[in-house]
Structure formats: C-alpha cells, structure tokens
Amino acid sequence: MERSRIAVAGASGLIGSALVRSLVADGHEVVRLVRRAARGAQEICWDPEGQYVDAAGLVGCDVVVDLAGAGIGDRRWTDAYKRKIRDSRVLGTAALAEAVAALDEPPRVFVSGSAIGVYGDTGDRAVDETAPPGDGFLPSLCVEWEEAAAPAEEAGVRTVFARTGLVVAREGGAWARLFPLFKAGLGGRMGDGRQYWSFIALHDEVAAIRHLIDTEELSGPVNLTAPTPLTNREITAAMGRVLHRPAGLPVPAPVLRSVLGEMAGDVLGSQRVLPKRLLESGFVFAFPGIEDALRAALA
C-alpha cells in the first residue's frame, strides 16, 4: 500500500493500538479519533454515543478503520452495560459512516469492526461468512453494528466488516485474564471444554486488517480467525504445555454462570468459525496454530 492518510477509531484499544503501531512503522499518516478536544492535526474529536464526528478531520483520508466499542468482557452484563456495549458500537459506527458518506471525496475503504459473535452458538458445526446470524444478545448486536455502516456503503465506499475472533494477546482481551491464571497453575478447561474457540494471534489480526484495506475485491463480512478452530479443552491443554504448568483445574459451568452472569453463555458457547474469504483472497497466517499464537503473545 502506498503511503496513506488513515483514520482509526478505537486507536487506544488492544487491536487499534497494535494496528496504529504497524501503520506508523510503515510510514503511513495515522489520524486518531479521540473523545475530547483534538490536540493537533493528527486527532479528530468525536463522541460516538452522541453521534458526533468532526468530519473536517476526515478530509483527505484514504482509509477509515472503526474499531471502537466498550469492552465485551470488561464487566458483568447488566442492562445498563449491555446498552453501553451496543451504543458505543452501533451509534458510533453510524456517526462515522454518515460523516464518511458526506465527504466530497470519501475514502476508498471503510473497515468496520464486527465479531464472530454474529453466528451465535454453532456447536460442532463449522461456519463461514455465508452462515446466517444466530440468536441472542451478541448476534443481534453484531447485525445492528454492521447495518450501521450502511451510509458508507450507499455512498459507494468499499465497506468491509472485520468479524474478529478471540484475539490471543498478553495485553488485553480474554487472554490477558487467562495467562496469569495459568502461570499460577490455576488454569483448566471451562465447563465441559468441548466448546470451540475460534482464535487469532494479535499479529495476524493486524495483518488481516491491513489485508482488508489493501485487497480491492474484498467487501462485506470477512472472518478474522485462525484456519483451525480448537475446543476449549485443546486450547487450555496447549496453554499448560506452553507455560509448563498443570492445566487440570476445570471451572464448572455453574461457577462461571455465578461469576459472569449472562456473559457465561458466550464463554461456554461454541463457535467453530472458518476464515473462508480471508484464505481465498490469499492471506497467509504467520501464527496459524494455537501454540504458535500463544508463544507470539508471550514473546
């Protein structure tokens, strides 16, 4: 990709900060969307839940990447926090897509965050981007989230939905909580351990987003997951091997439900998701296996 001006919402998050580092290292000009007054030309003021974007800051951007949203696993899902999870994504994406659509010269691509939660619990059934949405809070959230980008699509901007899996990283997400437990010898399978977890190394997540930006034939939903999903039992066993710790302390399903509430349904649920479109477009994973991904996160 030639040197570009790229706007990133969610630039302080796990994926966003890694993406910004990668882009800046390659000489791209990155403009961050911030929830306060902008401090210079490299920042754009916005209020996602208030649906405000200072659109003047988007002028001249070749690419807009929207990765903003309240953390899914940051706290227990009260009704109020579920509203925050939804509004921070749906309203923010709508505001950004509308600002993009209103530009005299809109960007060539709008990459909008999404998640494999759209598929719901798939059990042992492997699914790709052709599968319909599932049932429940996360699937309905993801459907609304993707629909919110419609103004950009209707304005003729190539719009891609990055349906991200469980990102293997030490700095954030699910693994930021799992690594300390396993290092202390307190890790183990969750529930019966037969549920599939569709993971992706942080390095591959960033590389995949950049692939979405660069690959002109890609639009619509694209799954960002490693090519071989594994069960929770297989993943926790791999963590024990990589960390040289026992992984024999299972967490029973009732305990997870007691601690996590409604969110436990997604921890215990199974999502066997395949990155069909990513592979067909020529993307090559650097860390396709779970042990590779774990070692990359710990390096």
* pLDDT at residue 94 greater than cutoff 90: yes
pLDDT, mean over the chain:
92
Q: What is the mean pLDDT of residues 98-120?
A: 97
Closest C-alpha among 103, 26, 38, 35 to residue 64: 103
The pLDDT assigned to 174 comes to 80
- Strand spans (E) along 122-238: 126-127, 158-164, 166-168, 196-197, 199-201, 220-224, 230-231
Q: Can you give the pTM of this predicted structure?
A: 0.94
The helix/strand/coil state of 138 is helix
The topology (CATH level 3) of 5-298 is: Rossmann fold (3.40.50)
Among residues 36, 133, 138, the alpha carbon closest in space to that of 89 is found at: 138
Structure tokens at 232: 């929770």
Q: Is 271 in contact with 122 (CB distance < 8 Å)?
A: yes
pLDDT at 73: 72
Higher pLDDT pick, 245 / 65: 65
